């Protein structure tokens, strides 16, 4: 199997939490796979990072996890109760469909940070083309952010309040060494920890990552999940280029 993902960016080995959670699942299941770093999302049917398995293409991290679960005879979800799955899905939705958009906006929509986007995501293009393509992509992000639960209509103070509400909810769930669904790590922790690591390991920091770093319990939780699986958002001694 081949996991098609983004190349390193913003000081991170894997700047996409969605790719990272799939890499965690593949590693956790002990499956044979390779990672191919590219920006050719036009080859993906949904313009998302994707998994290729013997010519079959699965594009969407949640659909990939369910594909891997079937391929491993329930290796990801079978041991979880209905209640645990409900809790897990709820926290993944909070993390990936709300918290992640705040992280995204702190990168794409802040004028002083956007230069990092241009360098790491569009630097491979000729300069005039990179300028136009990056700004067209930024405009699309801005429009999506305006529509996504109205997040783009809020001022920084209001967005900060919403961010802390997300972080407080996750922190309450994983305090005292707990994981998302209880005492044992599961597939849902891959999603939550990947998004938190994406925020915390960003270089340079954003206004979101600075707030996330205030939560020691979240730093410990994200680190613990990465340690257990052996897959990290940041570069480590074994993965440094």
What pLDDT, on a 0 to 100 scale, did the predictor assign at position 149?
80
- For residue 221, tell me if it sits in a domain: yes
What pLDDT, on a 0 to 100 scale, did the predictor assign at position 236?
85
What pLDDT, on a 0 to 100 scale, did the predictor assign at position 49?
78
Residues of the chain with pLDDT > 90, as a percent, come to: 85
- For residue 93, tell me if it sits in a domain: yes
Average pLDDT over residues 148-164: 93
Q: Rounded to an integer, what distance in angstroms lies between the CA atom of residue 64 and that of residue 26?
A: 10
What pLDDT, on a 0 to 100 scale, did the predictor assign at position 120?
93
Full residue range of the structural domain in which residue 180 is found: 2-229
What pLDDT, on a 0 to 100 scale, did the predictor assign at position 241?
45
- For residue 234, tell me if it sits in a domain: no
- For residue 237, tell me if it sits in a domain: no
- For residue 142, tell me if it sits in a domain: yes
DSSP-derived secondary structure for the chain: -EEEEPPPBTTBS---HHHHHHHHHHHHTT---EEEE---GGGSTTSS-EEEETTEEE-SHHHHHHHHHHHTTSTTTTTS-HHHHHHHHHHHHHIIIIIHHHHHHHHHS-TTTHHHHHHHHHTTS-HHHHHHHHHHHHHHHHHHHHHSTTGGGS-HHHHHHHHHHHHHHHHHHHGGG-BTTBSS--HHHHHHHHHHHHHHT-SS--HHHHHHTT-HHHHHHHHHHHHHHT--SB--TTT--
42-46, 55-59, 146-150, 219-223 — most confident range: 219-223
Average pLDDT over residues 26-53: 85
Asked if the model's pLDDT at residue 42 lies above 80, the reply is: no
Average pLDDT over residues 69-98: 98
Asked if the model's pLDDT at residue 40 lies above 90, the reply is: no
- For residue 235, tell me if it sits in a domain: no
Better-predicted residue by pLDDT, 195 or 125: 195
Average pLDDT over residues 34-46: 78
- For residue 107, tell me if it sits in a domain: yes
Q: 238 falls in which pLDDT band (50, 70, 90)?
A: low
Which whole-number Å values give the CA distances from 17 to 14, 21, 127, 176, in the listed order? Answer: 7, 6, 28, 24
- For residue 240, tell me if it sits in a domain: no
- Structural domain tally of the chain? 1
Average pLDDT over residues 5-23: 93
Q: 46 falls in which pLDDT band (50, 70, 90)?
A: confident
Average pLDDT over residues 163-189: 97
Give me the CATH number covering residue 156: 1.20.1050.130
């Amino acid at each position: 199997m081949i996991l098609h993902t983004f190349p390193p960016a913003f000081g991170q080995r894997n700047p996409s939490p969605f790719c990272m959670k799939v890499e965690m699942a593949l590693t956790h299941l002990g499956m044979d796979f390779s990672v191919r770093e590219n920006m050719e999302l036009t080859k993906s049917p949904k313009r998302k990072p994707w998994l290729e398995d013997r010519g079959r293409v699965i594009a969407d991290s949640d659909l990939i996890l369910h594909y891997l679960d079937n391929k491993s005879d329930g290796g990801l979800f079978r041991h979880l109760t209905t209640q645990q799955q409900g809790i897990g899905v709820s926290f993944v939705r909070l993390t990936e469909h709300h918290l992640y958009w705040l992280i995204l906006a702190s990168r794409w929509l802040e004028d002083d940070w956007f230069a990092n986007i241009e360098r790491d995501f569009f630097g491979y293009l000729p300069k005039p083309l990179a300028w136009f393509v990056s700004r067209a992509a930024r405009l699309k992000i801005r429009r999506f952010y305006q529509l996504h639960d109205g997040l783009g209509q809020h001022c920084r103070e209001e967005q900060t309040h919403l961010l802390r509400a997300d972080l407080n909810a996750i922190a309450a769930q994983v305090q005292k060494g707990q994981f998302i669904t209880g005492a044992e790590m599961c597939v849902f922790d891959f999603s939550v920890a990947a998004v938190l690591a994406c925020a915390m390991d960003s270089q340079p920091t954003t206004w979101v990552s600075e707030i996330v770093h205030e939560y020691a319990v979240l730093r410990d939780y994200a680190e613990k999940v990465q340690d257990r699986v052996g897959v990290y958002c940041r570069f480590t001694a074994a993965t440094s280029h």
